[in-house]
A and B are shown apart, each in its own frame.
Chain A
Amino acid sequence: MHLSPDEMIFWQYGFIKLNGTIVFTWGLMLVLVLGSKLITRKLSIDLQRSHWQNLLEIIVTTINGQIQDLGLAQPEKYLGFLGTLFLFVAAASLCTVIPGYEPPTGSLSTTAALALCVLVAVPLFGIEDQGLRGYLRSYIEPTVVMLPFHLISEVSRTLALAVRLFGNMMSGSMIIAILLTITPFLFPIVMTLLGLLTGMVQAYIFSILAGVYIAAATRVRQLEPPADPKTQQ
């Protein structure tokens, strides 16, 4: 029994290897991209449109609305990163209903990679929004004493992201696998349904947390009170 799809090695050449995580990820990528490509190939701008286009529009506009609710002023700018995070994690969880499939998010390598992406993306968006000096100044606010705590917070929350997602996904797969050996009929189905719900919740949590971190990094300037016109005069 595999604890992680990383252990499913299909091909290896020294340091380079092709394991189950990468293969399943490619499969998910293929499904997501091909599905998007097929559906968006004939987009209609009329009031009449296909069901698939309606579905995609609902998904995209909902994600956009959630990002906006986080307090980000231009949600389209963050839609690519946060939306893809959600869709990738959600698709990885939904596909657990396919026999023989193991979610790539059940691998700590994948969740660590995603958390690292968040770790890098947050300062990038922050610097883009506030500039390098402004972003770095946020680490020493309100006092310089807070700098180590900010740094620890950055590392710990990245670790928490990776481990939370990995633990939930891995445990779900593990529990189902164990239950299959004990009560092979009804109970694993219920647990699979619960696993689907857990996967969706985790996808939502992961992307929302990433959005919150980005919002925290970019919000400083947005929350600054407007200059008083009287003092300017």
Chain B
Amino acid sequence: MLIDWFTVGAQTLNFLILVWLMKRFLYQPILHAIAAREKRITDELAAAAAKKAEATQERDTYQRKNAEFDQQRAEMLDKATEDAKAERQRLIAEAHTAIDAMRATHEIALNREQKNLHEEIARYTQREVFAIARKTLGDLAGISLEARICEVFTHRLGTLDAATKQVLAAAVGSSRPVLVRSAFELSAEQRAAILQALQVALAADVHLNFADAPDLISGIELSTAGQKLAWSIADYLASLDEHINAWLKDNIPTEATTSTQATIDSAT
């Protein structure tokens, strides 16, 4: 008999014990180790994925912040540029205003100086002309200047043109008194000579009043009913004054304009 039933039973028991022991010492530990390793690898992969996701998120955050920072910087730069331009325009406007003010002040000062120069020249000319006239007349005739003035005036009355005579005659004819003003006091002969010359010129009876007028500056003035006939050195002085003014107008303003243009160029 090939089958021994006790051995069959014993081998069955042995096999069942072996199954239990192998489960206990082989399969379970190995499967647990494999499962633990798989779980560990899975956890590590998950952690790595989480870290990668976090890193990606942080990278996106930093990139967004960088973009915002660049935009803000560009905006601030643009604003600063605009501010600088505005400030430059403002400073240029201020400079222009200051230059205009300085130019105005300079022109005022220049005008004042010009005026002062005019007055100075006028006074100087007056003095010189008086001095020259006095000396020249005195040297030429040997008579007093007032007498010569009176003679000139008398001679002028005698050489009046017809229109002037007519106007004067009409004025005198209105029987108004004729006033003769002089810068110096006329002598009786001089008054008589003037009366005679006037009567001859107008061919009419004339009544004269005499008065002193120092502002005439060595002259004689005849006035009646709104008409005036005069001769004085002041007339010549006025003529001289006009010539001087014309000359100053042609020369001095050009220099003033040149200096003002030079000031503007240096300020810009």
Q: Give B12-24 as 1s and 0s: 1 = Cβ < 8 Å from A's Cβ atoms.
A: 1011111111110
Binds A, one of B1-9, B84-92, B243-251: B1-9
With A33-B18, A33-B22 known to touch, is A21 a contact of B7 (CB < 8 Å)?
yes
Q: Which residue of B lies closest to A25 (CB)?
A: B14
A117 touches B26 (CB 8 A): no
A186 at the interface (CB under 8 A from B): no
Q: Please, which residues of chain A bring their CB within 8 A of the CB of B12?
A: 113, 116-117
A113 touches B11 (CB 8 A): yes
Binds B, one of A38-46, A201-209, A224-232: A38-46
Instruction: Report the minimum CB–CB distance from A5 to chain B (whole Å).
Output: 9
Within 8 A of B (CB), among A146-172: 166
A175 at the interface (CB under 8 A from B): no
Q: Which residue of B lies closest to A4 (CB)?
A: B2
Within 8 A of B (CB), among A1-52: 3-4, 6, 15-17, 19, 21-22, 25-26, 29, 32-33, 36-37, 40, 43-47
Binds A, one of B30-38, B54-62, B102-110, B256-264: B30-38
A83 touches B7 (CB 8 A): no
B30 touches A57 (CB 8 A): yes
Cβ contact of A117, chosen from B7, B16, B31, cutoff 8 A: B16
Q: Please, which residues of chain A bring their CB within 8 A of the CB of B36?
A: 45
With A6-B4, A79-B27, A80-B23 known to touch, is A57 a contact of B11 (CB < 8 Å)?
no
A37 touches B3 (CB 8 A): no
Cβ contact of A29, chosen from B2, B6, B7, B17, cutoff 8 A: B17
B112 at the interface (CB under 8 A from A): no
Q: What DSSP secondary structure best describes chain A's contact surface?
A: helix
A113 touches B33 (CB 8 A): no
B29 touches A88 (CB 8 A): no
Chain A CB within 10 Å, residue with most, of B14, B20, B25, B30: B30
B7 touches A57 (CB 8 A): no
User: Size class of B's contact patch?
Assistant: 20 to 34
A130 at the interface (CB under 8 A from B): no
A125 at the interface (CB under 8 A from B): no
With A22-B7, A108-B2, A116-B8 known to touch, is A56 a contact of B30 (CB < 8 Å)?
yes
A45 touches B19 (CB 8 A): no
B40 at the interface (CB under 8 A from A): yes
- Cα–Cα, bound, A17→B30 (Å): 36
Q: What DSSP secondary structure best describes chain B's contact surface?
A: helix
Cβ contact of A80, chosen from B10, B19, B37, cutoff 8 A: B19
A76 at the interface (CB under 8 A from B): yes
B18 touches A113 (CB 8 A): no
A104 at the interface (CB under 8 A from B): yes
With A60-B30, A61-B34 known to touch, is A26 a contact of B3 (CB < 8 Å)?
no
- Cα–Cα, bound, A6→B22 (Å): 25
A57 touches B34 (CB 8 A): yes
- Cα–Cα, bound, A80→B23 (Å): 6
A21 touches B19 (CB 8 A): no
Q: Give A82-122 as 1s and 0s: 1 = Cβ < 8 Å from B's Cβ atoms.
A: 01100110000000000000001001111011101100000
Cβ contact of A87, chosen from B14, B22, B30, cutoff 8 A: B22
Q: Please, which residues of chain B bring their CB within 8 A of the CB of A53?
A: 30, 33
B25 touches A40 (CB 8 A): yes
- Cα–Cα, bound, A80→B12 (Å): 15
Besides A32-B21, A109-B7, 18 more A-B contacts (Cβ < 8 Å) are: A3-B2, A6-B7, A15-B6, A21-B11, A32-B26, A33-B25, A40-B30, A43-B30, A53-B30, A56-B30, A60-B34, A80-B19, A104-B11, A109-B2, A109-B4, A110-B7, A110-B8, A114-B11
Instruction: List chain B positions with a Cβ less than 8 A from chain A.
Output: 2-12, 14-23, 25-27, 29-34, 36-37, 40
Q: Which 5 interchain pairs have the tightest Cβ spacing?
A: A113-B11, A109-B7, A36-B26, A40-B29, A45-B36
